[in-house]
Amino acid sequence: MKNVCFIALISAALGVSAALPRIDKDEVVFAEDYGSRVVTVSYVLRDAPAIVTVDILTYGVSIGAGNFKMFSGPVNRLVTTLDERLTLTWKGYEEWPERKLANATAVVTAWPVDAPPDYRIVDLATGEERYYVSADAVPGGIGSDEYKTGKLALRRIHASGREFRAGAAKNESGGSGYTTREVPHLVSFTNDWYIGVYPCTQKQYEIIMTGNAAGLRATPSKFASAEDADVRPVEGVSYTHLRGTADHGYAWPVNGGAVDPERFFGRIRAATGVATYDLPTDAQWEFSCRAGTATAFNTGLELTNDTVDVRLDAFAWYAGNSGGETLPVGLLQPNDWGLYDMHGNVWEWVRDWYSTGDAYSDGSSVVDPPGAPSHEKSWRPLRGGANGSSAKVVRAAYRNYEGAGTIGSGNYGFRVMCGVKARMD
């Protein structure tokens, strides 16, 4: 082995009060065999479990995460082995065949379990979690059908300590008839969360719901017979299908985060061992959708026509371009945080009770709003618009509603969220 060097760890210590993971610089070793082009990187993790990622640099500059996605060994996952040398392997001749490393080094990063990297990939069959620093770093690319079927791709939303304006600006085009449901007000958050890069697809729903004891269909969608059904968003699901009835998920926020163990979120919690899987709250959904924008659409555009606006064709499936049915997720432009289909395709259930006027907001600033404590008609909000919606209805501020037990007709779906803390086996 040749070209051996040492390099310091970059430690991702973001507001964690417990012991932080640590790797001393003299315990990180990079080595490349020039003949085989096989690279090994070894390190020793100290003090606390961590999610470990690695970067490769030449002349101090990263070669780009997209060029070394297939490191094997204890990397891109939670590592609990402390005080022992651990080794990673990368076959450079497979992923970087046209280029050779020169003056190469490696950076190993230890992320605390409650301050993980931005992308979380969950194998729905095994519950295994993997973490990546960017969409480019995800093996096969985040756009692969793998992350729309057997695996769930989630993006970390950095919301803690941040504030945004929920609702529509007073003079927003398209919002004049909906002022009581789009009251502008400031919302801030005390925690980050992960949210699905895509709406939950038919195949993902089927994997989780097959064999459930509640007698719910694992393939409820109107468009289940389509050739590309696996990667279309699941629809034909109600709020109670997802969270439950009676004293289980139906009672949010009174009962906290409880869900029926045989409904979707109960089953995905059991499959992954992570108790924070749920629907996003109304405020979490809108913050995630807007991705830092305050305009009608998360692309920075304002509405020019209430019914059809051809500019929406780049990022939204709606009545003007969908043909009246769902389309495979991820085909159009994402928002600036890498989330697809936030405008159109399917309505997305959120966790709150529906409310309007002062019951929704009196204009005051709020922190982590859970929504109203109840609704006399059992209405829950739906966000984002759908394949049959007019242009004004797929705006970021628009809030639809429906009874919690209603399944819709080819347009009621959802998006998964969860807390940021990694599962500790």
Rg of the chain on CA atoms, in Å: 23
| Residue 137 β-bridge partners | none
Beta carbons within 10 angstroms of residue 220's beta carbon: 19
Q: What is the pTM of this model?
A: 0.94
Beta carbons within 10 angstroms of residue 213's beta carbon: 8
Q: What's residue 423's pLDDT?
A: 87
pLDDT digit of tens for each residue in the chain (425 aa)?
444 433 334 444 344 446 899 988 889 999 999 888 899 999 999 999 999 999 999 999 999 998 888 899 999 999 999 999 999 999 988 888 888 888 889 999 999 999 999 999 999 999 999 999 999 999 999 999 999 999 999 999 999 999 999 999 989 999 999 999 999 999 999 999 999 999 999 999 999 999 999 899 999 999 999 999 999 999 999 999 999 987 677 889 988 899 999 999 999 999 999 999 999 999 999 999 999 999 999 999 999 999 999 999 999 999 999 999 999 999 999 999 999 999 999 999 999 999 999 999 999 999 999 999 999 899 999 999 999 999 999 999 999 999 999 999 899 999 999 999 998 87
Q: Report the side by side order of strands in the sheet with 2-6.
A: 2-6, 29-33, 38-44, 85-91
Q: Are 239 and 401 in contact (CB under 8 A)?
A: no
Where do the domains of the chain lie, and which CATH numbers do they carry? 2-111 (2.60.40), 119-418 (3.90.1580.10)
Residue 337 in tokens: 């945080």
| Residue 22 β-bridge partners | 46
Length of the chain: 425
| Residue 123 β-bridge partners | 151
The span from the CA of 276 to the CA of 419, in Å, is 5
Q: Are 214 and 263 in contact (CB under 8 A)?
A: yes
CB-side neighbour CA atoms (13 Å) of 61:
3
| Residue 39 β-bridge partners | 32, 90
Q: CA triplet 279, 281, 287: central angle to 5 degrees?
A: 115
Tell me the three-class secondary structure of 387-408, residue by residue.
CCCCHHHHCCCCEEEEECCCCC
Q: What's residue 13's pLDDT?
A: 39
Q: Is the dihedral of CA 180, 183, 187, 192 positive or negative?
A: positive
Q: CA triplet 303, 306, 308: central angle to 5 degrees?
A: 90
Helix (H, G, I), strand (E, B) or coil at 364: coil
Helix (H, G, I), strand (E, B) or coil at 424: coil
